[in-house]
């Protein structure tokens, strides 16, 4: 089972306000009973959101979750690829 981790891991250390935007690959689980961000054993990031994948609500929830996790404004998080897929590339910064 994946576990939630604080933003002091190696993925979040690569994101800082002074750095240029970073792109990360994520997997999204829409309609999750327990929202959160997990990192699996291979270091892949999974974002679970309670919003359903209808009308872009899950994507909005993903942006909000990542902004909160990395302590950046929502406008600093952008989905670059995979708007209609569970596999996404997100730019942060």
Assigned fold of 3-92: Conserved Hypothetical Protein Mth637; Chain: A; (3.30.1200)
pLDDT, tens digit (0-9, with 9 covering 90-100), for 7-32: 444 454 345 555 689 999 999 999 99
Tell me the backbone φ, ψ of residue 74, rounded to 5 degrees: -60, -30
Per-residue pLDDT for the chain (93 aa), expressed as one digit of tens each?
444 444 444 454 345 555 689 999 999 999 999 999 999 888 889 999 999 999 999 999 999 999 999 999 999 999 999 999 999 999 999
Q: What is the pTM of this model?
A: 0.79
């Amino acid at each position: 089972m994946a576990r939630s981790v604080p933003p002091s891991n190696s993925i979040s250390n690569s994101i800082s306000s002074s750095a240029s935007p970073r792109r990360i690959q994520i997997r999204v689980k829409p309609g999750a009973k327990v929202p959160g961000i997990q990192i699996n054993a291979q270091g892949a990031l999974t974002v679970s959101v309670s919003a359903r994948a209808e009308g872009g609500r899950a994507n909005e929830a993903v942006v909000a979750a990542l902004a909160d996790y990395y302590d950046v404004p929502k406008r600093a998080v952008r989905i670059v690829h995979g708007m209609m897929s569970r596999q996404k590339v997100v730019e942060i910064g």
